[in-house]
Structure 1
Amino acid sequence: MEGQPDVEQRNRDQMDCEREPEEEEWKSWQRGEVRNMLHIVSAAAQWILLLACLIYLGINSLQPSTPRSSRVLWTHIRYTGESIEQVAVNLTAEVGSIQIRNGSIMIASDGLYLVSLKGSVLFNDPDALKLTLQKTDNKTSKVLWEQTVQDSGDAVNFTTVLYLFTQDNITLWTSSNATIADLSFSLVLLSPLHLLAVEDGV
């Protein structure tokens, strides 16, 4: 009978040892679920924004036209190639009516633009890399968007609406030497600024 408590203690210890890995596995699974949920929420928000912009475009196209150029300003870029630290990525248009000069997208009309950028970045630097979308005019430079890429090969996915102005030049930069893979970059003029002012009664 004296050995009975020892056996029970050993059984209890064994059960505790078996429970600990299960608890760790459960916590790890929970962390993964939270991370996955954040990715889903982020993706859903981007799609909702894109859908809202497309609905806006559809409604705008159904309204009676005012005297203006019928040509829609847009560009679509596909790029795979090298990027040099602190040098603008040498973008070239695949299709579209917006001019690109020396890797810079030349904005020809004030207005509201839909911007979409997707791809992945490969780099050897042990530190994280920054991918930056920048606008430059005659006097100043301004960062429009910046994403830190933690691991080589990580996906970049960015969709937003921006006010851009005539004479703005849009460029893409990386903070260190890298290879940009399967970059898809689109810029579409949703509504010229003077039409927005008319619609708002200004």
Structure 2
Amino acid sequence: MERGAAMEGGAGMEGEPDSEAGAGEKLECHRERAEHEWKLWQGGQVRNTLHLISAVAQWILLLACLIYLGVHFLQPTKSDKVLWTHIRYTGESTEGAAVNLTAEFGPIQVRNGSVVVPCDGLYLVSLRSFIYQPRDGVKLKLTLQVTQKTTRSVPWEETVQGSESRVNLSTVLYLFEQDSITLWTSSHANISDLTFSLVLVGENKS
């Protein structure tokens, strides 16, 4: 009996290290899992922070652009008045011919369907229109062309497709005195409620 008790006691002592080792492994697994979850959480926080910084930087850049345009818009020109024009047009366009724009408001002149730039400077350009094409499926190219004497450039061009399309343009261009701005279409179309605005926001006084 003493020998049996001793054997049972020995078996119990041998089993204790095994149970302690198992507990240690479980504790290590919990610790590694906790560290992994902590690293994932930190990574998510870093990504969120970077997205927030990027969004704030974009808003700051947009605000700076608006302030820049606002300051130049409020500065008086040589003639102490803001130079601008506002055009409305509804009618047909002809392939190979410029749209016959006519001034509705503003001191900037329009000659033979072309807007004439009065002086060197930075201009805010806005164009809105609804275009109806009689032939569905035909691509129509709308082009804003700037001509100075014999030199021509295309600062904006858009291809629209479908029987009914809307066009929207808002941009800033540096233009030179006596530049002429015309609007062209690559095929016949009906143009409805076209509005075109040109505003001088920063004059070159050098």
| TM-score, length-scaled by structure 2 | 0.65
Contact kept in structure 2, 1:116 and 1:186, CA below 8 Å: yes
Distance 1:82 1:98, change over 3 A: same
Cα 1:76–1:62 shift into 2, 3 Å: closer
3-state SS of paired residue (2:103): coil
Q: Report the aligned-residue RMSD.
A: 2.3
In structure 2, stretches of 5+ residues that fail to align are 1-57
| Percent of pairs with identical residues | 60
Q: Which is worse superposed, 105-114 or 53-62?
A: 53-62
Task: From the superposition, tell whether residues 82 and 52 of structure 1 become closer, same or farther in structure 2 (CA, over 3 Å).
Answer: farther
Report which of the two structures shows the higher radius of gyration computed on alpha carbons: 2
What is the one-letter code of the residue matched to 1:139? T
SS in structure 2 opposite 1:82?
strand
2:116 is equivalent to residue 78 of structure 1: no
Q: Which residue of 1 aligns with 2:187?
A: 176
Distance between the aligned counterparts of 1:184 and 1:191, measured in 2? 22
Q: Distance in 2 between matches of 1:84 and 1:76?
A: 22
CA–CA separation in structure 2 for the residues paired with 1:166 and 1:57? 20
CA distance in 1, matches of 2:143, 2:157: 4
Which residue is equivalent to 2:67? 55
The reply to whether residue 124 of structure 1 matches residue 134 of structure 2 is: yes
Aligned position for 2:122: 112
For structure 1, which segment, 53-62 or 163-172, has the greater mean C-alpha deviation from structure 2 after superposition?
A: 53-62
- Please, which runs of 5 or more residues in structure 1 have no aligned partner? 1-44, 198-202
Residue 62 and residue 121 in structure 1: after superposition, are their counterparts in 2 closer, same or farther (change >3 A)?
Answer: closer
Mapped to 2, the partners of 1:168 and 1:62 lie a distance apart of: 24
TM-score by length of 1: 0.66
CA contact (8 A) 2:73 2:200 kept: no
1:200 is aligned to none
Deviation for aligned residue 1:167: 1.4
Matched, 1:97 2:107: yes
| Contact 1:53–1:114 under 8 Å retained in 2 | no
How far residue 68 of structure 1 moved from its aligned partner, in angstroms, is 2.5
Residue in structure 1 matched with residue 49 of structure 2 by the alignment = none
